[in-house]
DNA sequence: GGGTGGGCTTGTA
DNA sequence: TTACAAGCCCACC
């Protein structure tokens, strides 16, 4: 991440890169920003307090287990947003999470 | 300016 | 499936 950017900024920027119809996990972001999956807690904080709720698709971030986890506006809301993008939701978990999982290190990360 | 607690998590037993 | 422990950042006092 950029030195001039803070942890929160780095997290938000990564989430912004998530394309529609795709989702990622807190651990992935935490690994990209801090390199520690335990930082996922901090990632959630950054998303929960995202200063750009209209630019940061925090609803595209779910748990590593596929569970939606939580949402400041409400889990139900998060589910609707994901379904609106074409992502299937089973109860409180994302179906075929491995297929919609978006990887940051996929390309351009050399 | 310093110390403590909470949160949209993760992994193991 | 449930319960416990670890590490990280922000807000409050």
| Any strand C atom closer than 7 Å to A36 CB | yes
Strand C nucleotides below 7 A of a protein CB? 6-11
- Each residue's pLDDT expressed in tens, for chain A with a length of 110 residues: 565 678 888 899 899 999 999 999 999 999 888 888 999 999 998 998 887 777 889 999 999 989 998 888 888 889 999 999 999 998 889 988 988 999 886 544 44
| Any strand C atom closer than 7 Å to A41 CB | yes
Alpha-carbon distance values, A65 to A42, A45, A55, A109 (Å)? 18, 19, 25, 25
Quickly tell me which residue has 């807690």 as its tokens. A41
pLDDT for the residue numbered A74: 86
pLDDT for the residue numbered A2: 60
Q: How are beta strands A24-25 and A61-62 bridged, if at all?
A: parallel
pTM: 0.89
pLDDT for the residue numbered A104: 82
pLDDT for the residue numbered A107: 47
């Amino acid at each position: 991440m950029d030195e001039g950017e803070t942890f929160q900024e780095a997290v938000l920027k990564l989430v912004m890169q998530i394309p529609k119809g795709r989702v990622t996990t807190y651990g992935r972001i935490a690994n990209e920003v801090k390199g520690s999956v335990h930082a996922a807690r901090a990632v959630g904080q950054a998303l929960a307090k995202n200063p750009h709720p209209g630019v940061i698709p925090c609803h595209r971030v779910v748990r590593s287990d596929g569970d939606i986890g939580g949402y400041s506006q409400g889990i139900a809301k998060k589910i609707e947003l994901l379904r609106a993008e074409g992502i299937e939701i089973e109860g409180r978990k994302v179906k075929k999470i491995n297929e919609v999982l978006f990887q940051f290190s996929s390309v351009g990360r050399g």
